[in-house]
Structure 1
């Protein structure tokens, strides 16, 4: 499968480009970026071509991988889907429901495959645990912590404008939801959303199967306090999300393989644009509640 890469930032350099260039099932056919010099540099590192025109790249590939801010990603994803290209997208799908729905609609109308890279869902140990707990059922409540030190430690993403604007809710919130939704079911409503220190937010979710969950999300945690975890409590007792044995680069390779599989057999992947749209809707609901709390304060 010929695939093009849209984006040249840290995530594209660290994960997308090396994973796609090394994957036996893909030909990294080209790179496009908003900065032509960065696109040329990244393309040269991986022995491929830099494109000045995104439509020219779309004309030459079967699929695109997108490593761009979510508001930019959404518009380009619609454009690529309408050109008949399969989509390997990043989370969050978009930062508004309107943008997210436009992507999901374009994917459905064009009949292309889509996979959104929720990292945890493409790491074998966590994904096996998620499937096991979803089959087991009987869960009463869950607690998710996703605490990053992006703005308090030494992170390559500290200068990301969209992360500074949208914060942990939109950056790590999708990771937490990608674990909770397949286990506890969809969210009927965001029952509460409360701001904490820095960009920290705490959410209470009411799930369709009767369970509730709490999420604590941050990109401004002290480095010594950073980490992620999910705890489930129910009829089977207590269980914890296991650590992954590998990092995002091999996980992205599995996401790319999942896209290829969905394109070949025509069956939607569990982490497709429709699923990512539901995540976007939940985050937008939480954001609206947070804005109300802040205005009241």
Structure 2
């Protein structure tokens, strides 16, 4: 850390998520120094850097050398090898979800972070939003859960949506809801119900995937994941049933508020050396589960 106890943060990525969420949050956070930006499109990096009064780097390794921590807003299979390089350079890691779409790539990030002794946090938004993170922590301490249900019905790729979003994030269109919103569902269900011990996946309309899971606690859960839902049918819900009754997850907050909280969690992990609950190792586990779901779909 710098002498002011602020983390010098670099940003990798120049797409919509970097533009709307990461860059403004890093620039406004009271305990970060927004050191610079690198992107695969130098002109976009220069434009984003100018907007926030920071530096555009042509060389990603030069950005790593100038930073204490690096945030990633790039596709998962671009993120993983760059994150391993950043860790090797001694940078703490603020990672986007999913960490990777191949377990081997995700495992390489974990190994690099462990070897360098750097902290990591994976930005699953619900794990950091004040309302939902508090609810998840509270329910994780409750015994007797019987089953859970997580529904993520999005309309990102239905006719009439924002074609610009599709064009700017092609990996989402290619990999579908399983990899885009699947991490959100798992980031809520796993802390409460335990690790997934068995899983079956089946496809539905469009990119819709239905998961049926058995957890280490003995509870079961289902997850419905879609980015091709009709506009009128979209929505997100998480429900738990058990001896405590039927509980529904509250919602609220913005992505920037969640990211600011994730920055705080990473700072605390870097300061104490204590791993955060939603770190790269947790991101690896999500990748392993989703890869297993993909194999189940193929079979």
TM-score range, shorter chain: over 0.9
Matched position secondary structure for 1:158: helix
Say what the alpha-carbon RMSD is for the aligned residues: 0.9
Q: 2:218 aligns with which of 210, 213, 230?
A: 210
Unpaired runs of 5+ residues, structure 2, are 1-6
In structure 1, the partner of 2:95 is: 89
Distance 1:157 1:80 in 2: 28
Instruction: Report the Cα offset of residue 257 of structure 1.
Output: 1.2
Q: 1:184 aligns with which of 180, 185, 193?
A: 193
Superposed CA deviations along residues 122-169 of structure 1, whole A, max 9, x for unmatched, are: 111111111111111210001110111111223753222211111000
Superposed CA deviations along residues 154-204 of structure 1, whole A, max 9, x for unmatched, are: 3753222211111000000000000000000001121x2110000000000
Deviant stretches of 4+, over 4 Å: none
Q: Is the 8 A contact 1:15 1:248 kept in 2?
A: yes
Distance 1:125 1:217 in 2: 22
Matched, 1:157 2:158: no
Matched, 1:175 2:181: no
1:148–1:10 Cα change, 3 Å: same
Matched, 1:241 2:222: no
Distance 2:249 2:81 in 1: 34
In structure 2, the partner of 1:198 is: 206
1:56-205 mapped onto 2 (5 Å cutoff): 56-152=62-158, 153-154=161-162, 157-159=165-167, 160-190=169-199, 192-205=200-213
Instruction: Report the Cα offset of residue 291 of structure 1.
Output: 1.2
Matched, 1:33 2:39: yes
Distance 1:166 1:89 in 2: 18
In structure 2, the partner of 1:23 is: 29
Instruction: Report the Cα offset of residue 266 of structure 1.
Output: 0.7
Q: Is the 8 A contact 1:118 1:178 kept in 2?
A: yes
Q: Is the 8 A contact 1:6 1:66 kept in 2?
A: yes
- If the length of structure 1 is used for normalisation, what is the TM-score? 0.96
Q: Give aligned pairs, total.
A: 290
Distance 1:109 1:287 in 2: 30
Distance 2:71 2:164 in 1: 20
Superposed CA deviations along residues 45-81 of structure 1, whole A, max 9, x for unmatched, are: 0000000000111111101000000000001000000
Q: 1:219 aligns with which of 227, 238, 261?
A: 227
Q: Is the 8 A contact 1:10 1:156 kept in 2?
A: no
